[in-house]
Amino acid sequence: MIVSFFSVLFLGFILGIKHSIEPDHIIAVSTMVGQSKKLSRSTLTGVFWGIGHTSTLFIVGMMLVLMKGELTDKWAMSLEFLVGIMLVYLGMKSMLFIKDSKQDSHNHEKASLIKITFIGFIHGLAGSAAMVLLTMSTVSSVWECALYILIFGTGTIIGMLMFTTIIGIPFVFSKKSIGVNRMLTKLTGTVSFLFGIYYMYNLGITEGLFQLWTQ
């Protein structure tokens, strides 16, 4: 029984790593990593995004588990729609981004890490419905649910930490070549903007979110 539960937790950890590299996650953090001047900052981006993401999954997930409730398709998709809006916003910010010396200030670093955590929080909010379904189909008791979500979140943090570090390499090494660095930054911004438009269109039109809200 114990061995079986640990196997489930290990699976949750692996799924967390896999979850961290979903396209919308990677595109969102890429726009933020593109503004990093140090590789350690790219790594911190992944860590703080993961903390925000895990916090929401745990809080909302446990609330739904304890209340034995679930989000309707309309609300689950609406939360997902927020991700599309966020991707468009991040894309626009990245495309308009111009590096200057003031970005090394302590206050900017602190504010930026708070923003990264908030973005992770939004991503976690959008994925909370799916997380509850996955958790309830995997474990049985409330404490097992809590532990599973935390292990899943740990996998997500580690996966994103590794990936943002890798993404940060070309940005950090190109920081002395302003033209190349800005091209990479604007490229990530363009991808984020276009993917965000596609994301919202797919949810709103293809999957019928707009129709659900007009019923």
Q: What angle do helix axes 73-95 and 23-33 make, rounded to 10 degrees?
A: 30
- Average model confidence (pLDDT) for the chain? 86
pLDDT in tens, 112-127: 888 899 999 999 888 8
Which candidate, 1, 26, 5, 2, places its Cα nearest to that of 151? Answer: 5
103-119 mean pLDDT: 71
Structure tokens at 53: 């993401």
Structure tokens at 93: 């910010």
- Please enumerate in sequence order all residues whose Cβ is within 8 A of that of 143, keeping only pairs 6 or more positions apart, or say none: none
Place of tokens 């920081």: 175
Q: Indicate the SS3 state at residue 99.
A: coil
Please state the pTM of the whole predicted model: 0.87
| Helix H or strand E segment including 85 | helix 73-95
**pLDDT of amino acid 101:** 41
CA angle 210, 214, 215 (to 5 degrees): 120
Place of tokens 């999957």: 207
pLDDT in tens, 47-80: 999 999 999 999 988 888 888 777 788 988 999 9
Structure tokens at 123: 């991503």
